[in-house]
Amino acid sequence: MLGVASDPGDGASVSGAGALVPFLPEARGPVVYPLHHGLKPPIARVAISWARGNSLRVSFFRRASGDGSDGDEVGGKVLEVRLNNGDGDISDAQLRRVAYGSVSPFAVLQSRRNSVASLSKISSPYHVEWWEYVMDYSKDINSLLGNPKSLPSPAIEDPQAVLQKVEEPTCLKAAWELMEVFYADKLSQAWLPERLVDWLTDYDSLLSSTQATIHLKVVDFQKELVTLQVIEDNTKYWEVISSALAVGWLDVVVKMLRLHGSYLLDQIGNRETENGLVEAVAVLISKMPRMRPALESGKLGECYKAKPDFIKAWEKWRAQITKLESSAFWVHCDHHRTREGLRNMLQIMLGNINSLCTATCHWIELYISHFLYIRPFTVGLESMYSLAKKCMQLKPMTSSHTLIGLVIGILGDNTEVVLAECSRSFGPWMVAHALELLTAGSDEAETLLQEERYNLGGISIEELHRLVYAQVLSLDALTWQLAPIYLTSCMKQGMGLLEILLSKQPVQHTQILLKIIEICRIYELDSISSNIMKIAGVYHWKHGRKGSGVFWLQQARDEVRLNRIALQLFDSVGQSISDESFKQWEGLIELLGSDSKTAGGLEFLRKYRDFKKSLKQVNDGKTTDVAQQAVESLISLMKNPSTPQRFWLPLLYDSLKLLSWQERPLLNVSQTNLLLNKVQELSMARLRPDFIEAELPPQALGGVRLALATNLGRAILEEK
């Protein structure tokens, strides 16, 4: 499936090559992976075969030493290599859940696209409300990726727990939210910087895997907290506070400030000024104006929806900070660390670049602090990108992280890079679904992704990625049934791939067969469906289940094979009518049902069966009425053009009793003439070299002819 199906022992992962997406714009060398077959060398030969989806099966054959002296009985190994990749921090089962969950939002969005396109005369379906649909979709997908805020808060709050406990976030979700912010959520464009502040609050912890982060600092300090006696004497306390302030974790900051020793009851008397200053800073922080419609409960700041109101409040707030900064109370603050710490915080709030640089750990944190304290009005991708570049120079990252490439791609407005990063880091699921966000982002991106390309065989990038994802889905017996949803959203090649996918399912398993037939019915793939039923029919026929075999061949309307089977049945039943095998094939004919008009040969068999039944009753000593019925069956059989000629004589021979019925002639003149003509035809046919002689006594024909002649005489007399 989507995840890296890796052996936990060797830790090898296929990320990178796995996506098998031929689109990385920059030329990169092939990724080399080891394949452990565990065989003793030398290997004589390697064979390959693609299995369903994009898993590759590799056979290794050892070169056998002539004398067999090495004593190794193992001559080779067959390995399956799964060429899919995905986000390493998500399990297979979880990704499967995501795959199942994302089908419905995806299908709904596609059907909305179709209806919007058919309603509007404008060529582009993306009129005003389109992004709202995309936003619905994005929210549905996002909720599948986990909810970091879902953990219930404990009943009794630990006063020293500065960080809220949350579910472990995933890079996949972080990436999705980032794209949602930039591409889909047009409502929040006005307060994009604040959205980024929130994003970093949720996901700074992810970056800790590769470098120092403020989150890591806070977590470490949290551990130390219980052992600290006089917290304000600790330099780390002030460091952590200013770092958290720099990236806008105001609730954390205020909570930590209130741990300050001057709040203790026994100290408040002699540290009144100090405590006043701490509280003043805490109040200022909690009153910070925020350019956003609302804040989650527990988060601090004052929200302003309209820009003019915000600017006014911002300037007022800054004036208050400046006032506090230059206040005379600082002189009376005896505690050196507190004084310095608080003043540093004021510098951060005033947007002092040096203080911000010191307080932050990497460029994204510095970037966020710019939005908070230096340039809260930054708008437009271009200025955001230049700001990002500046921050990267000031505070480069110590090592790369999967999310960073994506961030840079988005800020740089480079759709191809975004796509490449999505594919490289998060795999085909992400790309196939994120494309909806990207195409909603801008007209340029839409054109780029939906333009048909000759080099891709006439499909667009969007279609390519859906095809790739469908292939990944079809890899797994548990998910292949989802693939049709994605394939049918592909205009050009989806149906072609769907046909191949369906043709590669093991049809000997009835449940799978029924599922395939159902899919074929939905998507009107009649020829595939009949071919698959044909395969099933042949399979059952050849494996001794003749009834199922005939049933499926009938479903497939495979005239050629059914006629062939009919011939085979004739061979087994035609030798003599009194054959004991009657019961065996009678059941088979019963199975065919009465509505099977598909094969003339089988039609004959059914009539033949009816005839045999009444003949049997006649032999059991039943009345003239029954005998009359048997004659009707005989005539209808002999009239039917599908009755093979070689059956004529055995049929007539078996009916001798009817032809010379004691009480009265059962055949009228015209019926007798018909049969006599057939006998005549038979005599002529006997002269031809290809005539098949029935296994009957040599005088059979003569006997029949005599009986018919006698009957004719009696019938003529009767009719007179």
Partner 1 sequence: MEKSLVTLERGTVCSAWNYCGQRLATGSDDGTLTIFDSRDPASSCSFTCTSKSRVHETSIVKVVWVPPEYGDAVACVCMDGTVSLWEEVVEDAQPLQWKLCKSFKSNSAKVLDIQFGISSTSLKMVAAYSEGHVKVYELLDSLELKNWQLQAEFQNVIESVSTFSKALCLSASISWNPQRGESQESSFVLGFNSDTPQLNSSKVWEFDQAHQRWLPVAELALPEDKSDQVYAVAWATNIGRPYEVIAVATRKGIAIWHLGLDPDADGRLSVEKVAMLSSHEGEVWQMEWDMSGMTLATTGNDGVVRLWQSNLNGIWHEQASFEPSS
Query: Whose CA is closest to 235, among 340, 161, 329?
Result: 340
Identified binder of partner 1 from the candidate list 56, 303, 408, 676, rule CB under 8 A: 56
> Could you tell me whether strands 289-290 and 55-62 are parallel, antiparallel, or unpaired per DSSP bridges?
unpaired
The piece of 66-74, 228-236, 284-292, 660-668 that touches partner 1 (CB under 8 A) is 66-74
The piece of 303-311, 390-398, 558-566, 625-633 that touches partner 1 (CB under 8 A) is 558-566
Pairwise CA distance, residues 645 & 345, whole Å: 106
Asked if 312 touches partner 1 (CB under 8 A), the answer is no
Q: Which residues between 187 and 246 bind partner 1 (CB under 8 A)?
A: none
Asked if 165 touches partner 1 (CB under 8 A), the answer is no
Q: Which residues between 364 and 383 bind partner 1 (CB under 8 A)?
A: none
Nearer Cβ to partner 1 (37/390): 37
Phi, psi of 684 (to 5 degrees): -65, -45
Residue recorded with tokens 């007209």:
443
Q: Rounded to the nearest 10 degrees, what angle do helices 171-179 and 402-411 cross at?
A: 0
| Residue 593 burial class via C-beta count within 10 angstroms: exposed 0-12, middle 13-18, buried 19 and up | exposed
| Distance of closest approach, residue 479 Cβ to partner 1, in angstroms | 11
Identified binder of partner 1 from the candidate list 465, 561, 609, 714, rule CB under 8 A: 561
The contact mask relative to partner 1 for 441-470 (x = CB under 8 A, - = no) is ------------xxxxxxx-x-----xx--
Asked if 8 touches partner 1 (CB under 8 A), the answer is no
Identified binder of partner 1 from the candidate list 201, 471, 555, 598, rule CB under 8 A: 471
Asked if 114 touches partner 1 (CB under 8 A), the answer is no
Give the count of residues interacting with partner 1 (CB under 8 A): 106
Other CB atoms within a 10 A radius of the CB of residue 327 amount to: 12
Nearer Cβ to partner 1 (13/710): 13
Identified binder of partner 1 from the candidate list 64, 230, 306, 716, rule CB under 8 A: 64
Asked if 560 touches partner 1 (CB under 8 A), the answer is yes
Identified binder of partner 1 from the candidate list 1, 3, 54, 426, rule CB under 8 A: 54
Nearer Cβ to partner 1 (299/564): 564
Nearer Cβ to partner 1 (357/495): 495
Check if the beta carbon of residue 672 is closer than 8 Å to that of residue 631: no
Asked if 544 touches partner 1 (CB under 8 A), the answer is yes
Nearer Cβ to partner 1 (247/468): 468
| Distance of closest approach, residue 501 Cβ to partner 1, in angstroms | 7
Pairwise CA distance, residues 481 & 258, whole Å: 57
The piece of 189-197, 277-285, 370-378, 538-546 that touches partner 1 (CB under 8 A) is 538-546
The contact mask relative to partner 1 for 81-100 (x = CB under 8 A, - = no) is xxx-----------------
Q: What is the DSSP string of 553-571?
A: HHHTT-HHHHHHHHHHHHH
Amino acid at 343: R
| Residue 440 burial class via C-beta count within 10 angstroms: exposed 0-12, middle 13-18, buried 19 and up | buried
Asked if 27 touches partner 1 (CB under 8 A), the answer is yes
Pairwise CA distance, residues 194 & 369, whole Å: 11
Check if the beta carbon of residue 663 is closer than 8 Å to that of residue 631: no
Identified binder of partner 1 from the candidate list 1, 2, 3, 60, rule CB under 8 A: 60
Asked if 31 touches partner 1 (CB under 8 A), the answer is yes
Q: Which residues between 33 and 52 bind partner 1 (CB under 8 A)?
A: 33-41, 43-52
Pairwise CA distance, residues 551 & 541, whole Å: 10
- Name the strand (E) or helix (H) holding 127: none
| Distance of closest approach, residue 6 Cβ to partner 1, in angstroms | 5
| Contact partners, residue 339, CB within 8 Å, separation at least 6 | 277, 330, 333
Identified binder of partner 1 from the candidate list 9, 67, 73, 150, rule CB under 8 A: 73
Helices (H), 360-493: 363-369, 381-394, 402-411, 415-441, 443-450, 461-474, 483-487
Pairwise CA distance, residues 602 & 589, whole Å: 8
Nearer Cβ to partner 1 (27/226): 27
Asked if 578 touches partner 1 (CB under 8 A), the answer is no
